[in-house]
Amino acid sequence: MGTTGALQGDDRRATTEVVVSRRGSVRVSGHLTVQGADLLRGTVESLRRSGHARVLLDLADVRGADLAGLRVLRDLERTMAAGGGELRLLAPPTSPAPLA
């Protein structure tokens, strides 16, 4: 069963995630800011602790990302790899995008 989390505040910059725990996947939408990235970090770490060696992040619905959000993605990839796991990114943002 999946769970949904949303960061409250300015809706234009909100990050929403839908988690499918049994598959180890997270679909992210909205804007990946530092606050949303922290939410995502916690979700990925929770999936890893629950036994998922691979976690899939579907970022196709991310409309913007700031530098802090991109750094969190990079750090999560490194953390998973260091533990023998893998963070797979589907449609990752490649550079910071406007968050207007």
Measured between alpha carbons, how far is 35 from 41 in angstroms, rounded to an integer?
A: 10
What confidence tens digit (pLDDT) does each residue in 1-40 have?
454 444 344 455 688 999 999 999 999 999 888 888 889 9
**What pLDDT was estimated at residue 13?**
63
Q: φ and ψ at 18, to 5 degrees?
A: -120, 120
H-state helical runs in the chain: 34-49, 67-82
Record the pTM: 0.77
- What are the residue boundaries of the structural domains of the chain, listed by start? 2-6+17-90
Q: Which one is predicted more confidently, 47 or 8? A: 47
**Range with the poorest average pLDDT among 5-19, 26-40, 55-69, 83-97:** 5-19
What's the pLDDT at 11? 52
For residue 54, CA distances in Å to 26, 30, 63 come to: 11, 23, 24
State the chain's mean pLDDT as an integer.
Answer: 83
Q: Which CATH architecture is the domain 2-6+17-90 placed in?
A: 2-Layer Sandwich (3.30)
Distances (CA, A) of 20 to 13, 28, 32, 47, 81: 23, 12, 19, 10, 21
